[in-house]
Amino acid sequence: MNIWKYEEQKESHNLVKLYKENHGEGELLGDLSEEEIKTLILEIKPNIKIDQAYGTLVYFGMLPILVIK
C-alpha cells in the first residue's frame, strides 16, 4: 500500500498523519507491506494498539497519531 507521511512538531506534541492517498501534504514513503506499516506506526508511538491503528488506516485511508512530549 502506498503511504504518505505528514509530520508537525510542536513544543508540547508531535502530530503525525499517515495517508493511503496523496492529500497534498507530506512525503511519499513508497509501497509498504502491512508489516512495514505496522513497524512505522510503532516507531512513532510504541504503546499504540497496532491492530486497531492499522485497521483505521486501511478503512478510513488516514491515521492521525498524536504523541505528547
Q: What is the pTM of this model?
A: 0.92
> pLDDT tier at 23 (50, 70, 90 boundaries)?
confident
7-21: pLDDT as tens digits: 999 999 999 999 999
CA angle 31, 37, 41 (to 5 degrees): 140
- In sequence order, the 6+-apart residues with CB closer than 8 A to the CB of 20 are 1, 2, 3, 4, 57, 58, 61, 62
Asked whether 3 and 23 are in contact (CB, 8 A), the reply is no
> pLDDT tier at 3 (50, 70, 90 boundaries)?
very high
Which residue stretches of 3-63 are H helix? 34-44, 50-60
The pLDDT value recorded for residue 56 is 97
